[in-house]
Amino acid sequence: MSSPLFTIPGIIEGRFLGLLLNVILVLLVIYYMREGRLPYMRRVAGLDAIEEAVGRSAEMGRPVVCSYGIAWDGFDYWTVAALAVLGYVARLCARTGTRLIVPTGGSDGSLIVRPVAVETVRTAYLLEGKEEEFDEKDLPFLSGQQYAYTGGYIGILQRARPGAVIMLGSHYSEAMNITETANAVGALTITTGCYASNLACLACASDYILIGEEGTAAGAYLSEDPAQRASFRAQDIYKWIALAFLILGLIAINAGSDFFVRLLAT
Partner 1 sequence: MSAFFRSREAMLIVMVISFLIVFIPYFFNVPALEEFSTTWITIAAIVNAFTLVLAVYSQFRRGIYFIRTGKRAWGFKLWMLIGIILMIIFATMGMEKGPYSWAMQAIITPLSSVNYGILAFYLSSTCARAFRARNLKAFALLVAGFIVLFYQAPLTGAIIPGIEPVARYFTETFAMAFARVFAISVTLGAIVFGIRVLLGKEPMVLGFTREER
Partner 2 sequence: MSEERNIFRMLAEIDRRIIYLLLFIVVTVPILRPIAMPLAVSPDTKQYYKVLNSLGPDDTVLFVLDTEFSGYMEIQSGVLASARLIIEKGAKMAIACSHPEATGIPPMMFSYLRDVMEKYDYKYGEDYVVLGYIFPNEAAVASSAQDFHGVVKEDWRGRPIKGTFLDGIHDWKDWSLIAIFSTGVRSDAFIRHYGLRGTPMVINCIGVMIPTTKPYVDTGIFKALLPSMRGGAELEKLINAPGPGLAAMDCFTFGHYLVIFFIIIANIGYFGYVRRRAER
Report the interface residues with partner 1, using CB under 8 A.
Answer: 10-12, 15-16, 18-19, 22, 25-26, 29-30, 33, 77, 80-81, 83-84, 87, 108-109, 111-112, 116, 119-120, 123-124, 127, 140-141, 143-145, 147, 150-151, 173, 176-177, 179-181, 183, 194, 196, 199, 201, 204-205, 211-213, 215-217, 219-220, 223, 225, 227-228, 231-232, 234-235, 238-239, 242
Q: How far is the CB of 121 from partner 2 (least distance, A)?
A: 28
Q: How far is the CB of 134 from partner 2 (least distance, A)?
A: 33
Q: Report yes or no: 174 and 147 within 8 Å, Cβ to Cβ.
A: yes
Q: How far is the CB of 258 from partner 1 (least distance, A)?
A: 19
Q: Where are the beta strands (DSSP E) in 82-163?
A: 100-101, 104-105, 141-143
Identify which of residues 98 and 143 has a Cβ nearer to partner 2 in the complex: 143
The binder of partner 2 chosen from 42, 132, 197, 254 (CB under 8 A):
197
Q: 197 — phi, psi (to 5°)?
A: -70, -20
Q: Which does 256 bind (CB under 5 to 8 A by kind): partner 2, partner 1, none?
A: none
- As a whole number of angstroms, the distance between CA 119 and CA 125 comes to 10
Torsion of CA 91, 96, 97, 99, to 10 degrees: -70
| Number of residues located near partner 2, criterion CB under 8 A | 12
- Of 127, 143, 132, 63, nearest to 153 by C-alpha is 143
Q: In this structure, is the dihedral angle defined by the CA atoms of residues 25, 26, 30 and 33, taken in order, positive or negative? A: positive
- As a whole number of angstroms, the distance between CA 71 and CA 6 comes to 39
Q: Report yes or no: 214 and 9 within 8 Å, Cβ to Cβ.
A: no
- As a whole number of angstroms, the distance between CA 155 and CA 240 comes to 45
Q: Which does 26 bind (CB under 5 to 8 A by kind): partner 1, partner 2, none?
A: partner 1
Q: Which does 1 bind (CB under 5 to 8 A by kind): partner 1, partner 2, none?
A: partner 2
Q: Which residues bind partner 2 (CB under 8 A)?
A: 1, 14, 73, 146-147, 172-173, 184, 195-198
